[in-house]
């Protein structure tokens, strides 16, 4: 009986060692992959590199966009500034959005959500956070009152000084709307009304012209 027990133990040890050797061997056949297109994308995937790409320089799938192109959803932000600074952005970037009451109103709402706690509702640097942490400038004072749209956009995107970047919180279109409202605050205005060209001309000439409600013709 003892002999059979020893033989059984030896046989089990041999089988276990064989199985372990096979499991750890690099020579085993992984089998045939079923529907490989479900696992390996036929189109080039920029975030996956299985084989060398024979079409792109360097053999990589991921490439930088062609110079001068703007990705969809990145309206108005030139990724190819000659120098990536707020000062250069102030010269090379302009607001692509039309100056309308709708854009101004949306800019005001976005400003109240993301900016007013530091810069204040009137842009005077006296928001609740600005009062506690001194040094937030007023939009109507000194150099800040003259900052161009591109400069403001760059600071919102990349941050500056103690102000952290907000590029991940507001998309480019929203940033330009905020810029539009900030430039309103630079003039000391908090409204969102936009004067028409005709109104501007009349105000410049010191004369207000209203239409006759019955005939629709100007009153003299």
- Residue-by-residue pLDDT tens, the chain, 220 positions: 555 556 556 666 666 666 555 555 556 676 777 777 677 667 777 777 777 777 777 787 777 777 767 667 665 556 668 888 999 999 999 998 999 999 999 999 999 999 999 999 999 999 998 888 888 989 998 899 999 999 999 999 999 888 999 988 998 899 999 999 999 999 998 888 887 654 444 444 544 434 443 434 444 4
Contact between residue 50 and residue 67 where contact means Cβ atoms under 8 Å apart:
no
- What are the structural domains, with CATH classification, of the chain? 86-195 (1.10.760.10)
**What span, in angstroms and rounded, lies between the C-alpha atoms of 94 and 28?**
62
Predicted structure pTM score: 0.60
Tokens of 220: 């003299």
Token couple for 158: 């990349």
Six token digits for residue 187? 């003039």
Query: DSSP assignment, residue 211?
Result: B
Taking the C-alpha atoms of residue 181 and residue 141, their distance in angstroms, rounded to an integer, is 16
């Amino acid at each position: 009986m003892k002999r059979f027990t020893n033989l059984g133990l030896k046989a089990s040890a041999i089988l276990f060692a064989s199985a372990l050797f096979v499991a750890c061997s690099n020579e085993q056949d992984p089998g045939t992959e079923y529907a490989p297109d479900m696992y390996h994308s036929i189109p080039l995937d920029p975030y996956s590199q299985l084989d060398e790409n024979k079409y792109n320089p360097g053999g990589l799938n991921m490439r930088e966009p062609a110079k001068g192109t703007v990705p969809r959803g990145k309206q108005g932000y030139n990724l190819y500034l000659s120098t990536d600074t707020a000062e250069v952005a102030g010269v090379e970037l302009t607001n692509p959005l039309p100056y309308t009451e709708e854009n101004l109103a949306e800019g005001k709402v976005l400003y109240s959500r993301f900016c007013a706690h530091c810069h204040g509702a009137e842009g005077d640097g006296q928001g609740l956070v600005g009062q506690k942490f001194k040094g937030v400038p007023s939009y109507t004072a000194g150099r800040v009152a003259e900052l161009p749209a591109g400069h403001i956009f760059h600071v919102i995107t990349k941050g500056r000084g103690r102000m952290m970047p907000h590029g991940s919180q507001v998309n480019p279109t929203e940033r330009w709307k905020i810029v539009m409202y900030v430039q309103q605050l630079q003039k000391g205005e908090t409204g969102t009304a936009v004067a028409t060209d005709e109104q501007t001309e009349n105000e410049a000439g010191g004369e207000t012209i209203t239409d006759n409600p019955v005939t629709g013709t100007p009153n003299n």
